Structure 1
Amino acid sequence: MLRFLWARKRSLRIALVLAPIFIFLRTLWASPNWTDRSVHTVLRFDPTQLDLNSPDTKRDLCKRHNWKPFYPKNQQSSRRLYDLLMVNTKLEWLEVRLNTTYDHIDYFVIVESPKTFTNRDKPMIVRENLGKLAAYRDKIIYHQLEIPEGFHSDRANPAWAWEDLQRNAMYDQALVRLKGNPAPVQGDAIIVADMDEILRPETIAILKACNFPLRLKPPKSEFYYYGFRFRHKGVEWAHPQATYYRGSKTILPVNLRNSDGRIQPLIKLDTADLWNAGWHCSSCFATIEELLTKLSSQGKDLWDRVGEVYERIDNNQDLPRILLDQRERFSHLLDRDGQNAGFKDHP
């Protein structure tokens, strides 16, 4: 009898200790303040007019977005931002990205693979065209993917393994190997993105100035398909992601993008959403050939996507500036009307 009472007392004490912890975590999980759209939405301002080295400017900017300012340990320096991205076929989108964010990003870390995600040989588009990117070259850190000997995948869809290899290579084959001034230091911000996921310049200013959570998910982006005339209805696109450099404790790109690598409730504690933070334009190609290449190289199709609904937006002005300034060149991204739907290789 005494043993039974002692066991019940012990169970009660454990329950009393764990209950508040469970309630606290459950509250965060069910309705975290981080994911309230009204709390963290990118406001409109001109980042070129901000002095992010000014404590007052940083304090005001971050307060308006419900964060506190970030102050590096070395007060003589400011936080730098590294844009980690994979390039496969979209050289045009690389130019749009560089043009939109060059004045705000410190380094573009580009990893290009000689293989598609389905293990087929492909041309090295960026390497062969670096000369055309001379205006942006001083901020570009280029790396050709190193494929481990005997690399293969046992997954049902091997394309995911190839994608994960290339995505993590942006960090473990490129970023951590940097020496001297380009090398990251504790607290520098990192963006993990696909080529067609572009942050607004305002968002980049916020990431540089503010002490955002360890996993910024995404920043969320306006989601378009085929061009900027068709916007996805519903939840914004959940990429790219942002974090900050912590040496060996830095979250790997794949874990950051997939929101894994730790116990889910703990990940939730470190995660925030930043709404209306950028643009994502999926399958936004100039030619049908490029679209077919994407489908074959990534092992994807366009069937059985029930619930994917888009609204038509005419005369859309919420675009990267280069598209508005060079409308004729990028007409396929602005107008999909007509018999050829804007594809330049279709009569």
Structure 2
Amino acid sequence: MLTIPYLSPEDEAQCVQDGGWAKEKFARNRGFKIATDRRKPSYGDWVVLSDLDEIPRRSFLETVKAPDPGTDIGRRLLEGFPESDGDVFKLGCRFYYYSYEYRHRGDWYGPVLVRYCDPASPIFARPKSDPYPRLSRIQHIMEDDWSHAGQRLREQRVEDTPSFDDQCYHCTWCLSNITQVTRKMHSYSHTEHSQELYTKRRWILDHFSHGIDLFERSGEIYDYIEDNQDLPQYVRNNSARFSYMLRRKGLANAGFTDVDPIHPLSE
């Protein structure tokens, strides 16, 4: 079974006082740097940078591991082909709220796929006056090393970066218990969402159960998909364990494991 190591930056406390966004950027930069130091990639290895709730499709990762020049994705990944798009790509995700029942109108482009290149390598010194200027080169983003590359890669605009559409899943607020929902509201970067109304038990249950935006944002619309089968394989194979990700619609407890389905308003 694949294991995912948990790495905690020792110097995290230095950015906490600067607020949620500073902490988020710090975690991406330090996490990416620690990961590439621990498992030193070789030139040409592909590295995926994503948040925990952004899951690339298995089929896409298998294609990246062994790109086939006979396919569109393979030609875009391999160097030396006219169709090559360079070193950096955004991944388009099917975007879900609360569970895989409620698909957001509009996909999400958060994760990044990047071809690793050691800054000490002469290859990294390839001049920016590239004969193929349209290519997205890692040198155009990097400055000296990988210390701050995580956030710089994350902030690449979709309009300026080649992308692979529909190659991952993003399920946000897909939490197993209601306590996690209120804790997230008080701790994550969007401090404007930390309002008393949004933490009310009845409000949370009603919005999660009916696929309504929790924060009353205009334009945030989620379409209900009955019996959605386009799921991450691990979720599909463990449907009982992840039932809260699969069925919330119309449930009095909105599928939360810490809410009594008979008396959902009782705390």
**Band of TM-score, shorter chain:** 0.5 to 0.7
Q: Deviations over 1:269-327 (max 9, x none)?
A: xx211111011100001100111121111143242421000100001100012322222
Q: Structure 1 unaligned segments of length 5 or more: list them.
A: 1-134
* Alignment coverage as a number of residue pairs: 195
Which structure has the larger Rg over C-alpha atoms? 1
Contact 2:15 2:26 in 1 (8 A): no
Q: Within 5 A, what are the aligned runs for 1:50-199?
A: 135-137=1-3, 140-147=4-11, 150-151=14-15, 158-175=19-36, 177-178=37-38, 182-199=39-56
Equivalent of 2:110 in 227, 239, 242: 239
2:203: which partner in 1? none
| SS class of match (1:172) | helix
1:109: which partner in 2? none
CA distance in 2, matches of 1:185, 1:238: 26
Q: Within 5 A, what are the aligned runs for 1:1-347?
A: 135-137=1-3, 140-147=4-11, 150-151=14-15, 158-175=19-36, 177-178=37-38, 182-208=39-65, 209=67, 210-211=77-78, 212-217=85-90, 219-233=91-105, 235-248=106-119, 251=142, 252-259=149-156, 268=160, 271-300=161-190, 301=193, 302-337=214-249, 338-347=251-260
| SS class of match (2:176) | coil
CA distance in 1, matches of 2:222, 2:189: 24
Which has the larger displacement, 325-334 or 188-197? 325-334
Q: TM-score, length-normalised on structure 1?
A: 0.52
CA shift at 1:200, angstroms?
A: 0.5
**Does the C-alpha gap of structure 1 residues 159 and 319 become closer, same or farther in structure 2, counting only changes over 3 Å?**
same
CA shift at 1:170, angstroms?
A: 1.9
| SS class of match (2:47) | strand
Q: Which has the higher helix share?
A: 1
CA distance in 2, matches of 1:213, 1:315: 38
CA distance in 2, matches of 1:329, 1:294: 21
CA shift at 1:141, angstroms?
A: 4.3
**Percent of pairs identical after alignment?**
30
Q: TM-score, length-normalised on structure 2?
A: 0.66
CA shift at 1:149, angstroms?
A: 7.2
CA RMSD of the aligned region, Å? 2.3
**Does the C-alpha gap of structure 1 residues 297 and 149 become closer, same or farther in structure 2, counting only changes over 3 Å?**
closer
| SS class of match (1:222) | strand
CA distance in 2, matches of 1:321, 1:151: 36
**Does the C-alpha gap of structure 1 residues 310 and 253 become closer, same or farther in structure 2, counting only changes over 3 Å?**
same
- Specify which structure has the bigger relative contact order, considering alpha-carbon pairs within 8 angstroms and separated by 6 or more residues: 2
AA aligned to 2:186 is: S
Contact 1:213 1:243 in 2 (8 A): no
Give every structure 1 segment of 4 or more consecutive aligned residues whose post-TM-superposition deviation is greater than 6 Å.
none
